[in-house]
């Protein structure tokens, strides 16, 4: 048997040893699998934003049909610059804790225009707010954090309250006489440092056993299992 014929069985035998298999698997994961998966996810997110942008453009064109010609150019110019000037796209680097996310580290910071108190959204819904920044990073307190507070309003009735964060977020300070019910949509009220009109969640349960205020349980639109690209609103 020639040396070449002996070499192949010898190499095959080496790969049966567990340390060798682990080494090869780790090498492939670091050099091939992980980069490919990251690239696939990145392409998927690009296509998603392209679809959403196309839908919004279509809606804009439908709306502009009812607008006088002299105003269309001004509105279109505002639309083109709107995304770049009002939203900073960021990618999550770290979730804390991973199972019930209360804090997120994003890859954009002061060098990108991120400042304390700016709201963070995921596909248009509130995630939380920036509570600390460095030159290249920003740290977000999510609405599942017990220290999180934001002014909210009931979209149907305009009733105002305060969303208290936690694993099960609640709305505080809504009196028993107020018109609220399960299924109502909640938006940020604009009272405080977070701008108004950002979707927050829906009322899941209303408890009227207290003497003065409802105890209102909220189901946020953002589920901490949903990750990807986040938007930081200027």
Chain length of the chain? 234
Pair (216, 103) in one structural domain: yes
The parent domain of residue 203 ranges over 87-234
Pair (18, 114) in one structural domain: no
Pair (10, 115) in one structural domain: no
Task: Please list the alpha-helical segments (H only) found in 163-219.
Answer: none
Pair (44, 143) in one structural domain: no
**How many structural domains does the chain have?**
2
Pair (100, 30) in one structural domain: no
Pair (13, 114) in one structural domain: no
The answer to whether 128 and 145 are in contact (CB under 8 A) is: yes
Pair (137, 29) in one structural domain: no
Q: Residue 134: inside a domain, yes or no?
A: yes
What is the overall mean pLDDT for the chain? 78
Name the residue among 77, 148, 116 with its Cα closest to residue 232: 116
Q: What is the CATH number of the domain that holds 91?
A: 2.40.10.340
**What is the reported pLDDT for 83?**
44
pTM: 0.64
116-164 tens-digit pLDDT: 999 999 988 999 999 999 999 999 999 999 999 999 999 999 999 999 9
Pair (21, 100) in one structural domain: no
Pair (115, 185) in one structural domain: yes
**What is the reported pLDDT for 123?**
85
Is residue 32 classed as helix, strand or coil in its secondary structure?
helix
DSSP character string of 34-59:
HHHHHHHHHHHHHHHHHHHHHHHHHH
Pair (108, 41) in one structural domain: no
Q: How far apart are the first and last CA of the chain?
A: 73
Q: Residue 204: inside a domain, yes or no?
A: yes
50-67 tens-digit pLDDT: 566 566 655 555 555 555
Q: Residue 82: inside a domain, yes or no?
A: no
């Amino acid at each position: 048997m020639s040396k070449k014929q002996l070499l192949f069985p010898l190499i095959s035998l080496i790969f049966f040893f567990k340390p060798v298999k682990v080494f090869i698997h780790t090498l492939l994961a670091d050099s091939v699998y992980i980069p490919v998966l990251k690239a696939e996810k990145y392409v998927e997110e690009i296509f998603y934003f392209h679809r959403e942008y196309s839908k919004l453009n279509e809606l804009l064109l439908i709306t502009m049909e009812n607008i006088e010609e002299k105003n269309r150019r001004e509105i279109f110019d505002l639309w083109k610059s709107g995304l770049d000037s009002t939203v900073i796209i960021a990618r999550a680097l770290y979730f804390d804790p991973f199972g019930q996310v209360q804090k997120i580290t994003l890859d954009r910071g002061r060098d990108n225009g991120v400042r304390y108190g700016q709201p963070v959204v995921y596909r248009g819904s509130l995630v939380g707010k920036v509570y600390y920044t460095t030159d290249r990073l920003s740290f977000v307190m999510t609405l599942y954090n017990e220290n999180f507070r934001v002014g909210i309003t009931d979209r149907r009735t305009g009733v105002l309250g305060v969303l208290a964060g936690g694993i099960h977020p609640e709305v505080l300070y809504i009196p028993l006489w107020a018109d609220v019910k399960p299924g109502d949509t909640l938006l940020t009220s604009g009272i405080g440092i977070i701008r108004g009109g950002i979707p927050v969640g829906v009322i899941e349960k209303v408890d009227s056993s207290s003497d003065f205020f409802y105890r209102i349980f909220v189901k946020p639109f953002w589920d901490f299992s949903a990750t990807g690209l986040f938007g930081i609103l200027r």
